[in-house]
Structure 1
């Protein structure tokens, strides 16, 4: 089975199944000299872990990370960083009715059709539990980026038909961790939670979306065509389980604008550099970052594991049967998806910055240093 590695220079390879012994990942390409302990990673894992509130699954996982390699005396050595997160509360028995009867809209049948077998406990490798690895790796990427002056923040901007509009980066930072929904608008967050609880009480689920913003990313990240910044961000976001759409800038609304309305004039900034007037392009033009904030949105469908009865078929007996997914599942995904989206933003941006030699080694641990534009960690051929 391929598809378990993301990135080029900052490369993450993950392993583990939802109800297996452990989850884990290897991060290759992290420069030496970054101050790193489990505490730097645990904060984001705690934001993603189950059991945070009444609108998340009740599965009791501490999601405690253990660094197994790649550091010495609290600093990265430049060798692969190995991390493991134990599964403590797996209950595979509830999934036995679906060994040969696929749950509606899951990957049960498609995995079995492709591989001839699958780990059926909790969805195995197809479970969103696998994103715990992405968040762990993303926390390392975020720490590197923070020392370079790059900030990433996301929040839930829509649940069903309830939308928070015009939320600023500062409001995301200030308010999104204050409520269970992780919305940057507290008043709208209350409406969202009420809607989620309605679906939850009815034994159903609801979808939503996550808005993100990346500040401080330098201009020049990305390349034309297949290695464009939106192409790589799109790959990252469409990999997130339950994602049905990725947009940047105006997104789908761009179809409603004329060229003269969407086009952004250029002007000189205080340092004499050309900058666009406005940011409808979401910080990206021609597939390359402009230096303005990079903005986007990720849409997630409603969770497919719901208590309501649905119809499936048993491919061994050839009979139709009623399926009722009994277990511990989220009624909505965006609240726990926020740190996942932030992680994938960070992994994408740090990879591009390493490819272009845009990581200043003197600032790996946050200490001031000169910006070295000639620094190429893997040689000039890797730009």
Structure 2
């Protein structure tokens, strides 16, 4: 059953009373000369952060620092880092040059085995290898590497040949990802997030998608697939539809809290439908008593919290863990408008992890602790 996030839900957002994240200063780069954004921890199958070598392994999108920070999307490579407390250690690019079957690597999720001897990565391959002009095709792949930890030394073996998990069918999910190519118009088949359902032990991935049979340009959705006994992923109908409302429901992921399911995603004001109600850049979500739904917008609107009004682009790509920690990256810091000039954008771009936040949840209500 597909549930719907609608204009009526978003119209009920009260900009005067909505929950907002606190302001924070522009962080120092973790790696000089490198921008970092969308990131996720290596997780146990229950979704908790895995403790590895006394800390947490993270996979991040990375690119060389360029004048225009928006150019990073066309150069994105996955990077491995290790955090102990507030200290980050760079372990380098995750893959060798030419490993992925695309021109760049986008977001996903990673799960460590129960005995911590290997990691499975689910990620987005964007474009095609060797293309001269960047395309916006998106494919979902999985790969594995053996993990070895000796003291503080963390070693990964060569990654297995990436295997495509599933493809859009042109019936539920759009095949054409281009959407004109401009920021905010690109269609979605990306951001696979692994989830093990405690109710029956079944494994799923959720992903950002675009509806195939839609009369609207704004046809964002949350897709899902289930892992079958033969090891193949079975494509399922969309879990959430934002048809006619919003173009991109990015990095969707599910946690279980208090016996309920909570599905979260990130979206931006600029990708809401023209002429309709718009929400702020923020963390959104829905809740259900079962994975099958029906799903209800948290807080009646879907909005968990927004960036602060004085800095509406301060952070993005929020990721909620089962302990209700919320991770994100520092985007445009200390600015209330979208920079047009690349030099201005570079001055304000954070390009590093943002401070962690924490949610509180009670039934359909979600708020910042």
TM range (shorter): under 0.3
Normalised TM-score (structure 1):
0.22
Q: Is the strand fraction higher in 1 or 2?
A: 2
Query: Per chain length, whose mean CA-contact separation is higher, i.e. which structure has more relative contact order (CA < 8 Å, sep 6+)?
Result: 1
State TM-score, norm by structure 2.
0.22
Q: Which has the larger radius of gyration?
A: 1
Question: Which structure dedicates a bigger proportion of its chain to helix?
Answer: 1
